[in-house]
Structure 1
Amino acid sequence: MDNLRKGFPVLKRYTYLNTAASGLLPEKVFEYRQDHDLDFLISASILKEKQGEILTDVRETVGRFFGCEASRVALVPNFSYGFNTLLEGLEKPKKALLLKGDYPSINWPVKSRNFEIFYAEINAQLEENIRKALKQDKPDFFAFSIVQYINGIKLNIDFLKELKKEFPETLFIADGTQYLGTEPFNFEATGIDVVISSTYKWLNAGYGNGFILFNENVEGKIEPKHLGFGSLQGKYKAHEGNFLGKFEPGHQDTLNYGSLGVALKLLEKTGMENIATQIIKLKNFAREKFAEMDLLEQYVLDRKEHSSLFNIKGDDALFHHLRKKDIIASQRGEGIRVSFHYFNTLEEIEELVKAIKEKV
């Protein structure tokens, strides 16, 4: 376990249970960033001559890590940029299905455009609600988070795979920001049309980088309008009008995207199976403790599968009490959100439980 915590100095200072808000920066990524900017300082454009090589390596690393051909991986600065670019490429008007109360960066951009919108409720019967809405409302696209940012409710990947087979004409657009990095994920095997993700949370890649994974059938259904000199630069973007290039119209930042490449290689070295095993152990232990203390909503307890993100009952006083104990969490919704990544421990969950009992 100590080996999993190496390279994260902040863990020596805090009980960090806040990856769902901001992931930790590994020492290896920090070192890359220092070396990169030192090279830029002393070599300027000579470093930038390697831009194509650097970005190609990152693109291919993302594709290898998530099971997607590199030619269908777009590098974008964050989820919101990628999602808004994609929405602008959808012919309007269109019918959209959203989850009620989903992450604002999903629902707000859809609501701001000329789409006819339907909603599925997030509760213990979430999967049933989605299937019913798809049958009844027949949306052209379904945009959703795989893991809900407030309460950690998770959509099972196998369910999504079967759902896509059942509704092949509906475009499935998934936000993976609160999910990717918690268990192995093979994009090709899911049948999902598009996955977009920021990478500063569970992938520990810092800010300013993200990506989009595209199913091979998406081109032609989405017509992005962004275009610039960067649309032609680098491998996989050989001609004007190239689909991938329309998501990358400008100069790409080798500092931030290079950080993503380093972060993914660190996860590869640790092993996603090992990471998933540790996360399962942590979330099952935490869920049991929280249930004993009546800290979770009943509909969360009623679901078979859950993420390692929980919203526990608690007010301002409890939140500030935890902070005084150097336990880092976030206030979300009506409670306190805690989240556990592979570098966390059962002992840290015990510390959290003890601190809660002191205040309750």
Structure 2
Amino acid sequence: MENLRKGFPVLEQFTYLNTAASGLLPEAVWEFRQNHDLDFLLGASVFKDKQAKILSETRELTGEVFGCPPSQVALVPNFSYGFNTLLEGFEKPHKALLLKNDYPSLNWSVGSRDFEINYAEINANLERNIAEAFVKQQPDFFAFSMVQYLNGIKIDLDFIRDLKEKYPETLLIADGTQFCGTEQLNFEQSGLDVLICSTYKWLNAGYGNAFMLFKKKLENKISPKTLGFGSFQGKYKAHEGNFIGKFEPGHQDTLNYGSLAEALKLTKKIGINEISSRINSLSKKAKTEFIKLNLLEESVVKRKAHSSIFNLKGDDKLFEYLKSKQIIVSKRGDGIRVSFHYFNTEKELDFLLKELKKFGV
């Protein structure tokens, strides 16, 4: 475990339980960024001639890690840009299903357009609520976060596959920002039609990079309006038509997308199954201990499977107390959000529990 922590100097200063807000920058990614800008400083356009290679490698690594052909991978700066570009490609009006109180960048984007929107509740019966909403009025698309940013409730991926089999014409669009990098995902077998992920959280790739995964058939259902010279430049664009190019209209930032490639190499080196195992082990212990302290909402307590994100009952005084102990967490909703990644330890969890009890929760 200590070997997995060595690449993250910030862990020497803090008990960092805040990946759900911002992932760490690994030394391997930092070193790439240093070398990248030095090469740019010294080489200018000579260095930039390598741009296509960097972008292709990032696209191919993303496809490899998440089970998607690289010709169906688009590189975008963040979730919001990709999702809004996608929505502009829909013919309107469309019936949409969302989750109530899902991530604002998701729900606000749909709500700002001329869609007929229904909502399903996020609680212990999440999957049943979604199924009932489909029966009541089958949507044209269902957009949702795979893991909820407020309390960590994670949707059942087997349920998503079953839902797609039952409603093949409904497009399933997922925000994977709080999911990707925590466990194995084979996009082609997932039942999802689109997955969009900002990679500055659980993939530890820094800011300014994200990716979109598409099923091939989507090209016949959505027509994005965005287009530019960059839409036709590079491997997998002109060769495969122009669909992914419509999400990449301008100059692509090799610093940021190259950072994603380096982060994915680190994920591959450690192994996603090893990462998942460590996260799950810590999450189960954390949930058990938080339940003993009566710190979790009922909907989370009743869920069989959960992510490693928890929203603990607590106020500003508790938040400031934890911060004074160099425990880095976030205020979210009515509570305090903590999140555990593979580089966190049981020792850190025990320290958090000790300080929570000292505060008097």
TM over 0.5: yes
Query: Does residue 139 in structure 1 map to residue 108 in structure 2?
Result: no
Aligned ranges for residues 221-232 of structure 1 at < 5 Å?
A: 221-232=221-232
Distance 2:269 2:204 in 1: 14
Partner of 2:112: 112
Q: Deviations over 1:293-321 (max 9, x none)?
A: 00001111111111000000000000000
Cα offset for 1:269? 0.3
Cα offset for 1:220? 1.2
Cα offset for 1:145? 0.1
Partner of 1:201: 201
What is the letter of the counterpart of residue 157 of structure 1? L
Partner of 1:64: 64
1:274–1:117 Cα change, 3 Å: same
Q: Deviations over 1:208-231 (max 9, x none)?
A: 000000011111111001000000
SS of the aligned residue for 2:150 comes to coil
SS of the aligned residue for 2:281 comes to helix
Cα offset for 1:26? 0.1
What is the letter of the counterpart of residue 311 of structure 1? N
Size of the aligned set, in residue pairs, is 360
SS of the aligned residue for 2:218 comes to coil
**Is the contact made by 2:59 and 2:74 (CA closer than 8 Å) also made in structure 1?**
yes
What is the letter of the counterpart of residue 176 of structure 1? G
Q: Deviations over 1:91-137 (max 9, x none)?
A: 00000000000000000010000000000000111100001101111
Aligned ranges for residues 63-102 of structure 1 at < 5 Å?
A: 63-102=63-102
Distance 2:128 2:5 in 1: 39
**Is the contact made by 1:193 and 1:215 (CA closer than 8 Å) also made in structure 2?**
yes
Query: Does residue 218 in structure 1 map to residue 218 in structure 2?
Result: yes
Partner of 2:182: 182
What is the letter of the counterpart of residue 28 of structure 2? K
Deviates more, 1:153-162 or 1:88-97: 153-162
Unpaired runs of at least 5, structure 2: none
Q: Deviations over 1:73-99 (max 9, x none)?
A: 000000000000000000000000000
What is the letter of the counterpart of residue 210 of structure 2? G
TM-score (norm 2): 0.99
Cα offset for 1:239? 6.6
Distance 1:240 1:263 in 2: 27
Partner of 2:50: 50
**Is the contact made by 1:191 and 1:215 (CA closer than 8 Å) also made in structure 2?**
no
Partner of 1:9: 9
SS of the aligned residue for 2:220 comes to coil
**Is the contact made by 2:319 and 2:336 (CA closer than 8 Å) also made in structure 1?**
yes
What is the letter of the counterpart of residue 227 of structure 1? L
Distance 1:22 1:70 in 2: 27
Distance 2:240 2:165 in 1: 33
Partner of 1:326: 326
What is the letter of the counterpart of residue 18 of structure 2? N
Cα offset for 1:240? 10
Distance 2:289 2:18 in 1: 18
Deviates more, 1:211-220 or 1:21-30: 211-220
Distance 1:32 1:346 in 2: 31
What is the letter of the counterpart of residue 18 of structure 1? N
Cα offset for 1:273? 0.7
Deviates more, 1:110-119 or 1:212-221: 212-221
Query: Does residue 269 in structure 1 map to residue 258 in structure 2?
Result: no
What is the letter of the counterpart of residue 184 of structure 2? P
Distance 2:240 2:69 in 1: 20
Partner of 1:34: 34
**Is the contact made by 1:231 and 1:240 (CA closer than 8 Å) also made in structure 2?**
no
Distance 1:57 1:241 in 2: 19
SS of the aligned residue for 1:296 comes to coil
Deviates more, 1:214-223 or 1:330-339: 214-223
Cα offset for 1:241? 6.4
Q: Deviations over 1:155-193 (max 9, x none)?
A: 011111111111111000000000000011110111210
SS of the aligned residue for 2:68 comes to coil
Partner of 1:248: 248
TM-score (norm 1): 0.99
Distance 1:163 1:134 in 2: 9
What is the letter of the counterpart of residue 304 of structure 1? K
**Which stretches of structure 1, 4 residues or longer, exceed 2 Å deviation after superposition?**
none
Distance 1:185 1:4 in 2: 22
Instruction: Give me the identity figure in percent.
Output: 66
**Is the contact made by 1:232 and 1:240 (CA closer than 8 Å) also made in structure 2?**
no
What is the letter of the counterpart of residue 50 of structure 1? K
Q: Deviations over 1:30-60 (max 9, x none)?
A: 0000000000011101111011111001000
Distance 1:187 1:240 in 2: 19
Cα offset for 1:348? 0.4
Distance 2:315 2:347 in 1: 24
Partner of 1:312: 312
Distance 1:92 1:219 in 2: 17
Deviates more, 1:241-250 or 1:69-78: 241-250
Cα offset for 1:282? 0.4
